[in-house]
């Protein structure tokens, strides 16, 4: 077992204050440390040390400020590096609602990070969808996946802080879908399928709207975090999409950073909705100006596990919850785990 303290023999002229100063401790810190390790008869009640011959002192003592600084050096920095994302992650999302059946969706996400003209670029792809333990086989689900697969992979430009700035080449996405639409129409025939394909192409053509579809998902908010989240010192307000394609809502956030083991750091973010808004407004994506609304009681929790050395994202977990007075109205949970 590693011994992180030693017995210091008191010399003439020594005082509790002089010894603690040399160690970089306060008098109270040194007194507490000594009392924790000494025999009962050698306990220090005051600053007088004349009745003892030795003092238990720590080796390599670090102040709370030094410990905090070392902890922050083990966390990802304010500027995202290409090493932050692994190449593949396994994702599981669960949806629970009082008026709908539970839904579990599993899939794989692949990422390729690079620089282009000094801009951070990430190529995003998604595959291997499983819904409630089975491969989706109904027409609507199959069509939805086929439409998304037709435009993947997608290249995104990132800000230095890790947030998505936009598409690298939106025109290329539109061209890719236009070329594949004829094959999709041949396979997915019928008025309903044709209408969906038309709507998907219209949404895809609207760059701002199509970008929002990605960025408003829980996956993208967790997968592409603001790197400032890993270096917060005080509480702050952060806007989140609680429902895809809805509007953002402000949350009051707190952060905690924990050394999980010798190789990994755990970042825990917790927040509560901090502005008036109802559950239905968020779900429908329509923010009315009505004064009398049933304000939502919602909260969010996010946990990131990152490697101390390369700062790579190993695992992430996020939960969105809306509560009523009697029960949980809605819960969305996501786990993201690095594939090795």
Q: Report if residue 326 sits inside a domain.
A: yes
The pLDDT assigned to 1 comes to: 37
Are residue 102 and residue 171 in the same domain, yes or no? yes
Domain that holds residue 53: 5-61
CA distance 230 to 256: 9
Are residue 32 and residue 108 in the same domain, yes or no? no
CA distance 133 to 5: 54
Angle of the 191-205 helix axis to the 207-215 helix axis, nearest 10: 100
- Which residue bears the tokens 């819960």? 331
- DSSP-assigned letter for residue 261: S
- DSSP-assigned letter for residue 278: B
CA distance 173 to 257: 39
State the CATH number of the domain containing residue 123.
2.30.230
Tokens of 266: 């755990």
Q: Report if residue 82 sits inside a domain.
A: no
The pLDDT assigned to 289 comes to: 63
Instruction: Compute CA 21 distance to the chain's CA centroid, rounded to the nearest angstrom.
Output: 41
What global pTM score does this model have?
A: 0.82
Strands annotated E in 82-149: 88-97, 100-116, 119-131
CA distance 297 to 253: 15
CA distance 215 to 206: 14
State how many domains the chain has. Answer: 2
- Which residue bears the tokens 């500027």? 79
Are residue 305 and residue 231 in the same domain, yes or no? yes
- DSSP-assigned letter for residue 163: -
The pLDDT assigned to 325 comes to: 62
Are residue 145 and residue 192 in the same domain, yes or no? yes
Are residue 161 and residue 291 in the same domain, yes or no? yes
CA distance 315 to 96: 22
Q: What is the pLDDT along the chain (340 residues), one digit of tens a residue?
A: 345 888 999 999 999 999 998 888 889 989 999 999 999 989 998 888 988 999 999 987 777 777 778 888 999 999 999 999 999 999 999 999 888 889 999 999 999 999 999 999 999 999 999 999 998 888 788 999 999 999 999 999 999 999 999 999 999 999 999 999 989 988 888 999 999 999 999 999 999 999 999 999 999 999 999 999 999 999 999 999 999 999 999 999 999 999 999 999 999 999 999 988 888 888 888 877 655 566 778 999 999 999 999 999 999 999 999 886 666 789 999 999 999 7
- CB–CB of 97/287 below 8 Å? no
Q: How big is the CA angle at 288 (ends 283 and 293), to the nearest 5 degrees? A: 80
Domain boundary among 44, 61, 78: 61
Q: Report if residue 315 sits inside a domain.
A: yes
Q: Report if residue 310 sits inside a domain.
A: yes
The pLDDT assigned to 61 comes to: 77
Are residue 46 and residue 95 in the same domain, yes or no? no
Q: Report if residue 235 sits inside a domain.
A: yes
- Which residue bears the tokens 């050698």? 42
C-beta contacts of 235-241 below 8 A and 24+ residues apart: 237/274, 238/271, 240/271, 240/300, 241/215, 241/216, 241/217
Are residue 51 and residue 164 in the same domain, yes or no? no
CA distance 223 to 109: 10
The pLDDT assigned to 326 comes to: 61
The pLDDT assigned to 136 comes to: 86
State the CATH number of the domain containing residue 9.
3.10.350.10
Q: Report if residue 29 sits inside a domain.
A: yes
Maximum separation of any 2 CA atoms in the chain, in Å: 97
The pLDDT assigned to 98 comes to: 83
CA distance 219 to 205: 22
Tokens of 47: 């600053």
Domain boundary among 61, 78, 103: 61
Are residue 222 and residue 329 in the same domain, yes or no? yes
Which are the contacts of 198, defined by CB distance < 8 A and separation ≥ 6? none
Q: How big is the CA angle at 76 (ends 65 and 108), to the nearest 5 degrees? A: 145
- CB–CB of 229/80 below 8 Å? no
């Amino acid at each position: 077992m590693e011994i992180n303290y030693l017995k210091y023999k008191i010399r003439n002229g020594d005082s509790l204050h002089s010894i603690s100063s040399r160690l970089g401790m306060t008098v109270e810190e040194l007194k507490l440390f000594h009392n924790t390790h000494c025999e009962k008869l050698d306990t220090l009640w005051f600053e007088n040390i004349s009745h003892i011959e030795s003092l238990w002192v720590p080796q390599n003592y670090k102040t709370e400020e030094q410990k905090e600084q070392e902890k922050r050096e083990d966390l990802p920095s304010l500027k995202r590096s290409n090493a932050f994302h692994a190449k593949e992650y396994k994702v599981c999302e669960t949806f629970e609602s009082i008026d709908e059946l539970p839904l579990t969706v599993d899939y794989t996400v692949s990422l390729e990070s690079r620089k282009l003209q000094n801009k951070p670029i990430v190529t995003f792809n998604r595959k291997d969808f499983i819904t409630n333990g089975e491969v989706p086989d109904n027409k609507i689900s199959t069509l939805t996946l086929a439409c998304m697969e037709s435009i993947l992979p997608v290249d995104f430009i990132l800000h230095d802080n890790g947030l998505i700035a936009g598409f690298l080449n939106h025109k290329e996405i539109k061209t890719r879908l236009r070329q594949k639409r004829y094959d999709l129409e041949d396979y997915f025939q019928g008025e309903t399928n044709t209408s969906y394909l038309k709507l998907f192409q219209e949404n895809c053509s609207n760059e701002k709207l199509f970008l929002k579809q990605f960025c408003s998902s829980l996956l993208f908010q967790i997968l592409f975090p603001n790197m400032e989240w890993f270096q917060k010192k005080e509480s702050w307000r952060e806007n989140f999409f609680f429902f895809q394609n809805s509007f953002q809502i402000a949350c009051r956030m707190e952060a905690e950073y924990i050394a999980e083991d010798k190789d990994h750091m755990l970042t825990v973010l917790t927040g509560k909705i901090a502005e008036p808004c109802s559950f239905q407004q968020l779900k429908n994506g329509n923010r009315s100006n009505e004064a009398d609304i049933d304000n939502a009681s919602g909260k969010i929790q996010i946990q990131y596990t990152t490697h101390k050395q390369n700062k790579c994202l190993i695992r992430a977990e996020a939960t969105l919850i809306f509560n009523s007075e009697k029960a949980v109205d809605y819960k969305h949970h996501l786990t993201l785990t690095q594939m090795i």
